[in-house]
Structure 1
Amino acid sequence: MSATTPRTTDGGSPAGHSQARTMTALLAPLFVALMSISIVNVALPAIETGVGASAADLQWVLSGYALAIGVALVPAGRAGDLWGRRRFFLLGAGLFGAASLLCAAAPTPTVLNIGRVLMGLGAGVLTPQIIGMIQSLFDGAARGRAYGLMGTVIGAAVAFGPTVGGVLIDVAGDDAGWRLTFLINVPVALAACVLAVLWLPQDARGSASPGRGIAGLKALDPLGVLLLCTGVLLVMVPFLGVSVWVGVLMGTCGVAVMTLWVLWERRLGARADASPMVDLRLFSVPSFTLNSLVLSLYFTGMPAVWAVVAVYVQQGLGYSAVVAGLVTLPSAVMVMALSSSVGRRVERRGVIFLVVGTTAAVASMLLVAVVGWLADTVWGAPGVLAAVVALVGLSQALIIPSAQTLSMEQVPTSMAGAAGGVAQTAQRLATAVGIAVLTAVYFAAAESQGHAVGLVVAALVIAGLLAPAAVTAWLIAHRLRESPRHR
């Protein structure tokens, strides 16, 4: 197979179907879906004024999106494996675009939050299809490059979000500006649907398809879907602002329900006539388990950096939303400059990239703490902070394509969508927990000691959370040190 030509499972790919076209069709909606996580951060004050949103409404604007993504990922990944990934990619992109239009036109906070949940469901449906199609369409170095491009999009989307949002609000005004932060998703989602029809191969229709009706529903494992979705909801909802005791109770129940899900999936996996949503033998593949663990640990700490930095620059240093966004630009540039190159070299250097990236992530947080400590000196200026968080971009460029590629390299194609959904769900849960805990830590320290101390404390806690990711990366390197492929 050519390194630049995707393969398909059904032989239906048109001649000359290039990697560039495939990745453009796949990654365009992923970019806006991920940008929607961070672009809203700078739009919250304008949303509050524009539709009269309460603090609880604003919290749902932020977290309802992530919650819906977390619920949809694994069932959607499994559905794509069963009935066709392109079909569910189109469904997810279409739902995301329509929901974005609803949010842009929302007259009330309730309509806005309904739209945000639907946006999250759309993003949760399309994301595992991207991983599944990369896994099935590309091999070897081409797969590494594809995951490298995916890493570029992930980093750029999250980092550019605050800047884009700040510029839109500054240029268009508060009311039109926050609506534009949602409206810009619509043409991208529409274009993604058109490109998917033109450039993505038709879904295979083989004898292994479970069909429709009762047989097809049974193959999706409806009880497994119910248990997992309920468990994810119970674990994530406590981070939306419920009381401590209610949160503890819900979280405990969530862990119990997810334990039941594991037992149920194990039971189905042991039966020859059953079809589990997630074959738990997936976790017996060391490359999948360890590299997914690195990504989950990384996402526990790193996404919270952008929330903390945005608050610190605006409330601590007194700068505008645009400046807060510009502080993240060096990180975004670093990701865009390096991720694709890293992806091309993952086959030979992936484990080394993983070790260096996780170590750089811990070092970057220690340097952020130093910037906060020196807040009253020239070394505490926004430009210095921007240079320091560029190291975050370096870590992201090294870690995401490497861990993503290495985690999926031994996963069977038939399980790729479900595997991608499991990994993405773990990352979304880690992100939700990390952001909730770390913003709480920041505000608690800032309230008593000032924003500079808040930045120092939050950065040190993030460094502590990232340290296990570095340890796990070193463990992976130790396990594979005798493998010529990873030397």
Structure 2
Amino acid sequence: MSSADPTDARLDDRTRWRAFAVCVAVAALTILDLSKVNVGLPSIEQSLHATSSSLQLIVAGYALAFGLALVPAGRLGDLKSRRALFIVGLVAFTVSSLLCAVAPTIEVLMVTRILQGFAAGTQMPQVIGLVQQLFRGPERGRAFGLFGAMIGISTALGPTIGGGLIAIGGEENGWRLLFWMNVPLGLVALFFAVKLLPKGAQGQAKDRELDIVGILLLGAAIITLMLPFVLTTGAGDSGARWLWLVGFVVFLGLFVLWEVRYKRQGKSPVVHFELFRLSSYRNGLSIVAVYFAAIPASFLMVTLFLQEGLGLSPLFAGMVSIPFAATSAVGSYIGGRIVDRVGRALVVFGLFMVVVGFVLLMLAAVLTPPEVTPWAMAGAFLVGGLGGGFVVSPNQTLTLAEIPVEQSGVAGSMQQLGQRVGTAIGTAVATSIFYGIVRGSAAGGDGSGGSRLDAYHDAFRSGTTFTVSLMALALVLAVGDLVVRRRAARREAAAA
């Protein structure tokens, strides 16, 4: 190796970072669709005469299909080819986006939106697996730092981009631009993916069979867990939907029993349970699931409060979150460069800043005059965004640090699944709290403007109290992991 031409090494390094850029761009495009479509729901309702249930399924169907595809796609990528699965997912995402854009009825849009979710869930595990495959050591931390920066920007700018496209396309048909946007971007990404993604050299799993029964049982468990939450709207929902959780317990138990038996036969299961013996992986999954139960729900409530409570347009309501995107990108970049030296303490510090930032956000919303409120909330987002940048990317690096490359796809998909499940649960609870208070106040209020704004103040305060509690729980989990790690390090030092 010492005699290798340094020019060749630089070319190899350049190739890897170009492949990484393709992965990050496609991941950002995928994540954008989790947030930008929300602001287009009123436009879809007007254009296609959609009911509230149909609109809910457009959002929830994407999230459910996304979560359902993650683990099987991650396993297939590990066994076969991450590059091939990435390209298949990207083609499907681009085609389904086109079908969404030209959908003539709400029924067609719901079906194509679910297909789009499956395509997104096929892509994302390959992104995580390819990053694990392409980079090692501190370089991997920097890569995940840049990855987290782009994801943070995409999440926070989604509402702004959506609002801008609706303003360009008009209230009735502006929503179609939300999907048309993906088509040329997807085609450009496809060109570079075919050209730049590595064709081989990924870690090969020892066993090559695909556990079909395990995949089906896990899929049934995911559906029955997420369905009652994604169908929660806070508007007269049937309590019978919670019976789906009984099915979740049954299918999860069957999945565990099958996977244990499958492995005893010398075969390779969908999920290697020994991964959960790694405290870095187990604790990282717990932190990210709780964190993502809080963050997307908080963004949704900010959008609802600014548009419905203060009467801001979708474009300006979305712009309030731009400071979060900017400081989150900075935090992710810095965090990726120092996480190998600082470790879990960086995540602890980031979560503390997130808690402080969102407490300030709540105070800004309920204590400032309406004309000042958006500016004050944008200022609070500066603090929360920087903290968020120190959480997501460093936690991802620490969570996957001890995972073998040949299992990185499914391990990364489990992490993404934790995010999707957390998002579904947190959004359902927060939305129910928010709309429950708004509707209750409307039913008992006097109909004056002050009463209406007070109702939105109460709803935002109560909903944000719930999400900040989740952030605090994630902080407690991170502190607990940090304490355990430091005690183990002291024992190792004493033994040496």
Output the TM-score relative to the length of structure 1.
0.91
**Which residues in structure 2 correspond to 1:73-222 (within 5 Å)?**
73-204=70-201, 219-222=209-212
Partner amino acid, structure 1, of 2:163: G
Deviation, structure 1 residue 403: 0.6
Distance 1:377 1:91 in 2: 48
Residues 205, 241 of structure 1: CA spacing in aligned structure 2 closer, same or farther, 3 A cutoff?
A: closer
The secondary structure found in structure 2 opposite 1:223 is helix
**Which residues in structure 2 correspond to 1:354-433 (within 5 Å)?**
354-376=347-369, 381-433=373-425
Over the aligned positions, Cα root-mean-square deviation in angstroms equals 2.1
Deviations 1:81-104 (A, max 9, x none): 000100100011111111000000
1:7 maps to none
Distance 1:447 1:263 in 2: 45
Deviations 1:170-218 (A, max 9, x none): 12212442111111111222222211221111034898676xxxxx6xx
2:473 maps to 468
Question: Are the counterparts in 2 of residues 368 and 385 from structure 1 also a CA contact under 8 Å?
Answer: yes
Distance 1:207 1:303 in 2: 35
Deviation, structure 1 residue 350: 2.9
Matched, 1:313 2:306: yes
Shifted more, 256-265 versus 50-59: the winner is 256-265
Shifted more, 30-39 versus 254-263: the winner is 254-263
Residues 208, 351 of structure 1: CA spacing in aligned structure 2 closer, same or farther, 3 A cutoff?
A: closer
Shifted more, 133-142 versus 166-175: the winner is 166-175
Question: Are the counterparts in 2 of residues 357 and 398 from structure 1 also a CA contact under 8 Å?
Answer: yes
1:268 alignment partner, one of 262, 283, 288: 262
Distance 1:228 1:205 in 2: 25
Question: Are the counterparts in 2 of residues 446 and 452 from structure 1 also a CA contact under 8 Å?
Answer: no
The secondary structure found in structure 1 opposite 2:174 is helix
- How many residue pairs get matched? 466
Distance 2:328 2:205 in 1: 40
Deviation, structure 1 residue 255: 2.6
1:51 alignment partner, one of 30, 48, 52: 48
Question: Are the counterparts in 1 of residues 29 and 182 from structure 2 also a CA contact under 8 Å?
Answer: yes
2:251 alignment partner, one of 254, 257, 266: 257
2:218 alignment partner, one of 222, 228, 232: 228
Matched, 1:65 2:55: no
Shifted more, 392-401 versus 71-80: the winner is 392-401
Question: Are the counterparts in 2 of residues 83 and 209 from structure 1 also a CA contact under 8 Å?
Answer: no
Question: Are the counterparts in 2 of residues 369 and 457 from structure 1 also a CA contact under 8 Å?
Answer: no
The secondary structure found in structure 1 opposite 2:292 is helix
**Which residues in structure 2 correspond to 1:334-349 (within 5 Å)?**
334-349=327-342
Residues 221, 351 of structure 1: CA spacing in aligned structure 2 closer, same or farther, 3 A cutoff?
A: same
Question: Are the counterparts in 2 of residues 84 and 204 from structure 1 also a CA contact under 8 Å?
Answer: no
Shifted more, 125-134 versus 442-451: the winner is 442-451
Deviations 1:236-261 (A, max 9, x none): 11124374432111122113212221
Partner amino acid, structure 2, of 1:406: L
Residues 307, 208 of structure 1: CA spacing in aligned structure 2 closer, same or farther, 3 A cutoff?
A: closer
Output the TM-score relative to the length of structure 2.
0.90
Residues 266, 373 of structure 1: CA spacing in aligned structure 2 closer, same or farther, 3 A cutoff?
A: same
Matched, 1:443 2:435: yes
Alignment gaps of 5+ in structure 2: 3-7, 442-454, 491-496
Question: Are the counterparts in 1 of residues 60 and 231 from structure 2 also a CA contact under 8 Å?
Answer: no
Residues 377, 241 of structure 1: CA spacing in aligned structure 2 closer, same or farther, 3 A cutoff?
A: closer
Question: Are the counterparts in 2 of residues 66 and 428 from structure 1 also a CA contact under 8 Å?
Answer: yes
Matched, 1:30 2:27: yes
Distance 2:419 2:426 in 1: 10
**Which residues in structure 2 correspond to 1:8-19 (within 5 Å)?**
15-19=12-16
Question: Are the counterparts in 2 of residues 47 and 53 from structure 1 also a CA contact under 8 Å?
Answer: yes
Deviation, structure 1 residue 448: 3.2
Deviation, structure 1 residue 15: 4.0
Residues 393, 189 of structure 1: CA spacing in aligned structure 2 closer, same or farther, 3 A cutoff?
A: same
Residues 92, 154 of structure 1: CA spacing in aligned structure 2 closer, same or farther, 3 A cutoff?
A: same
Alignment gaps of 5+ in structure 1: 3-10, 211-215
Distance 2:29 2:456 in 1: 31
Question: Are the counterparts in 2 of residues 25 and 196 from structure 1 also a CA contact under 8 Å?
Answer: yes
Deviations 1:420-475 (A, max 9, x none): 11111111011011111101111112233400111111111111112221011111
Partner amino acid, structure 2, of 1:239: F
Distance 2:109 2:102 in 1: 8
Partner amino acid, structure 1, of 2:220: T
The secondary structure found in structure 2 opposite 1:481 is helix
Distance 2:344 2:466 in 1: 26
Partner amino acid, structure 2, of 1:463: V
Residues 87, 14 of structure 1: CA spacing in aligned structure 2 closer, same or farther, 3 A cutoff?
A: farther
Residues 281, 207 of structure 1: CA spacing in aligned structure 2 closer, same or farther, 3 A cutoff?
A: closer
Question: Are the counterparts in 2 of residues 365 and 460 from structure 1 also a CA contact under 8 Å?
Answer: no
Shifted more, 304-313 versus 234-243: the winner is 234-243
Deviation, structure 1 residue 18: 3.4
Question: Are the counterparts in 1 of residues 310 and 370 from structure 2 also a CA contact under 8 Å?
Answer: no
Deviations 1:400-426 (A, max 9, x none): 011100000001111111111111111
Deviation, structure 1 residue 396: 1.6
Matched, 1:238 2:228: yes
Matched, 1:352 2:357: no
